[in-house]
Structure 1
Amino acid sequence: MSARLQDKIVLVTGASRGIGYQIAKQMAAEGAHVVAVARTVGGLEELDDAIRRGGNSATLVPLDLTDAGGVDRLGEAIHKRWGRLDVLVANAGALGVLSPIGHIEAKVFEKTMALNVTATWRLIRSVDPLLRLSPAGRAIVMSSGAAHSCRAFWGLYAATKAATEAMVRSWAAETENLPLRVNSVNPGATRTAMRALAMPGEDPDTLPKAADVAARILPLALPELTETGQLFDIRENRFLAYRAPL
């Protein structure tokens, strides 16, 4: 096994299941020490077991990312222990509800925005200084095709992902003269619990597995990556440069 991320410190959110679980597992297999963040302790423990079986290590962080103070302390703890962060994979997110815009309850709207947008901003704010301390910092932020398709009833989720992409593009522009590379990823339809919730009648056997999608994302963490401020589309397996207007 190659060790393309040997001794790298990697932070993965939403690491207890789905794409986040698989990214964390695969990056650990490449030699990284993974800081795995999720609310579900059981899922984190399963991940830890899988990583240890491969002879690698992880640090488990049970954390609700809407806990602003907790996110701030996470950055402080990483700095105190390792002095830097090499890779951020901001994967955690929620579907919210599929509904006409006018029917969405305020509490559901605010909760989804709090996790998908505000918590992502807070995470970026917490670890940006740490990524700048890495000789080849890499940030990978999960998006969705919903941010661009804006289909009926998907307005809440689409809005959160569009907002997140806008933040990532601005962050990339602010750091384009640094070694730090910042990109968004559209994983496309994937066999995950969130996809099953959104599309309950869909045959999961027709969808790519989370492990296969994670394997396509992993190269975005490598030191040789040069692209920044772009959207990587898993289905097309390439970067899609943003244009104005989209």
Structure 2
Amino acid sequence: MDLSTLFSLMGKVALITGASKGIGFAIAEVFAAAGAKVVISSRKQESLDEMANLLKSKGYEVTGIACNVGKMEDLQTLVSKTIETYGTIDVLVNNAASNPVFGPVHDTSLEAYDKIMDVNVKAPFHLMKLCFPYLRESSNGSVINIASIGGLSPETGLGIYSVSKAALISLTKVFAKEWGDHKIRVNAICPGLIKTKFSEALWSNDKIMAHMMKALPIKRVGESEEIGAAALYLASPASSYTTGAVLTADGGFTI
């Protein structure tokens, strides 16, 4: 058995949102190392160019395309520019997320609620639909939605964010069921506490960390590259019989 082929993305085109740093960037680097042509997206073109050049210096094929996923018209532009550049889309990773609040759910404003739901649920829904014509033409069409363990059990201080991730998990299963006939696999990854800028409010809080360490079988914070490895499995032929799955990568927190 040739394991290099089993986990290869050679010749595939992958589009990743929220990919200028953290988990999204780690996924981009892993995919590029596996042979994919990668489009990284986030709001600021300057940051994307910097990170794309970093990966290009390693010999990878990477293009940065700016997009605010909270704006539906930007998503259409993102897909159009990806097609102009590479001609197709084989793998879509919905990683971009928003959580402008941390605290009691009753303190969450309607404006914050709308932003969280627009970015974390509506954007993946619309982007998946926009990518559908290209994914169904792929020999290994794959969508990976980056959810959260908060979507399985609400996290303290992250009420509406947890609601949005629960919705994203459900959305993953709906698309997986409907797109099976089109040979498109749709799966979700639920990271636990990963050391990124996005989750700094958690891992920089001594009280939260003390609680987490008591509950974690693997007593450490996760790394972005570990989510990248999980995403590679779901993007590659290695997971050809896997769809509608919800893969936790949380150090055992949800056991």
In the TM superposition, what are the counterparts of 1:138-153 in structure 2 within 5 Å? Answer: 138-153=142-157
Question: How large is the Cα RMSD of the aligned pairs?
Answer: 2.3
Q: Which residue does the alignment assign to 1:215?
A: 229
Identical-residue share of aligned pairs (%) = 29
In the TM superposition, what are the counterparts of 1:95-244 in structure 2 within 5 Å? Answer: 95-202=99-206, 206-225=220-239, 226-235=241-250
1:236, CA displacement in angstroms? 6.6
The CA distance in 2 between the partners of 1:209 and 1:81, in whole Å, is: 31
Q: Which residue does the alignment assign to 1:23?
A: 27
Q: TM-score with structure 1 length normalisation? A: 0.88
The CA distance in 2 between the partners of 1:207 and 1:198, in whole Å, is: 10
The CA distance in 2 between the partners of 1:63 and 1:152, in whole Å, is: 30
1:212, CA displacement in angstroms? 2.6
1:177, CA displacement in angstroms? 2.6
Q: 1:37 aligns with which of 34, 41, 63?
A: 41
Which string of whole-angstrom CA distances, capped at 9 and with x for unpartnered residues, describes residues 1-32 of structure 1? x5711111000100100010011011111111
Q: Which residue does the alignment assign to 2:89?
A: 85
The CA distance in 2 between the partners of 1:128 and 1:184, in whole Å, is: 17
The CA distance in 1 between the partners of 2:251 and 2:143, in whole Å, is: 20
Unpaired stretches in structure 1, ≥5 consecutive residues: 241-246
- Amino acid across the alignment from 2:177: A
Which string of whole-angstrom CA distances, capped at 9 and with x for unpartnered residues, describes residues 158-202 of structure 1? 111011111111000001233211101012111111211234324
Contact 2:193 2:203 in 1 (8 A): no
Q: Secondary structure at the match of 1:184?
A: strand
The CA distance in 2 between the partners of 1:80 and 1:208, in whole Å, is: 36
Does residue 61 of structure 1 match 2:75? no
Contact 2:67 2:78 in 1 (8 A): no
Contact 1:96 1:109 in 2 (8 A): no
Question: How many residues of Structure 1 are paired with residues of Structure 2 in the alignment?
Answer: 237
The CA distance in 2 between the partners of 1:40 and 1:220, in whole Å, is: 28
The CA distance in 1 between the partners of 2:91 and 2:163, in whole Å, is: 26
The CA distance in 2 between the partners of 1:169 and 1:13, in whole Å, is: 20
Greater mean alpha carbon deviation, residues 160-169 or residues 193-202 = 193-202
The CA distance in 2 between the partners of 1:209 and 1:236, in whole Å, is: 11
Runs of 4+ in 1 over 6 A off after TM superposition: none
- Amino acid across the alignment from 1:127: C
1:97, CA displacement in angstroms? 1.2
The CA distance in 2 between the partners of 1:220 and 1:160, in whole Å, is: 22
> Structure 1 residues 60 and 5, CA, compared in 2 at 3 Å: closer, same or farther?
same
Unpaired stretches in structure 2, ≥5 consecutive residues: 210-218
Contact 2:65 2:81 in 1 (8 A): no
Q: Secondary structure at the match of 1:89?
A: strand
